Amino acid sequence: MAGIDDAEARLAAILRAYMHIGLENPALYRLMFGPALSSAGTAARPAVARAAGADARAVLEDVIRCGARSGAFAVSPDDPKALALAALSPWSAAHGLTMFMIDRIPRPDLSVDELIGALLRMVVAGLRQPRTEQPRPAATHATGAERITRWSRRHLSSRSSC
């Protein structure tokens, strides 16, 4: 998207627009992705639908590639298969949430903006470079009582109903 240089912000803007277009045009969205155009397989889809899909995929792959080259995304910018998979993940997440919202599946107390915002945060976080782990402090020889106390804190205090 013109005017947005940051790959994360660009991806978020594209996905947000994708979802809003689907929500504002639910009948068209269902036609584009429903069985009327896809039941016979990709080759039987109208050329205009195939071209639109290829264009959308190319835009997402370009954003992912730019993010990978900048170091923001953990994917090889020179691996076409990795780029295709990395682009498919946010696209399918946005598509699924759009369909859920059209069908009114999410809890009614969650706003469209909350749902989209949560999805965007999770998608972008999943594409980011992994954080480097902090080195653990050197092991010390603890007494038996200290080891039991640490074990108890780790295993008994963290129990919950989740």
Question: What pLDDT band is residue 139 in, cutting at 50, 70 and 90?
Answer: low
From CA 97, how far away is CA 106, in angstroms rounded? 9
Q: Give the least confident one: 26-35, 70-79, 106-115.
A: 26-35
Does residue 162 have a pLDDT over 50? Answer: no
- Under a CB-based contact definition with an 8 Å cutoff, are residues 57 and 136 in contact? no
Does residue 65 have a pLDDT over 90? Answer: yes
What is the residue-averaged pLDDT of the chain? 81
- Residues 6 or more apart in contact with residue 77 via CB below 8 angstroms: 65, 68, 69, 83
> 4 or 84: which carries more pLDDT confidence?
84
Does residue 131 have a pLDDT over 60? Answer: no
Supply the pLDDT for residue 11. Answer: 92
Supply the pLDDT for residue 118. Answer: 92
Q: Give the least confident one: 13-17, 79-83, 108-112, 156-160.
A: 156-160
- Under a CB-based contact definition with an 8 Å cutoff, are residues 78 and 68 in contact? no
Token pair 């059209």: residue: 102
| Residue pLDDT, tens place only, 18-47 | 999 999 999 988 888 777 776 655 567 778
The Cα-based distances of 36 to 30, 31, 103 in angstroms read 9, 7, 18
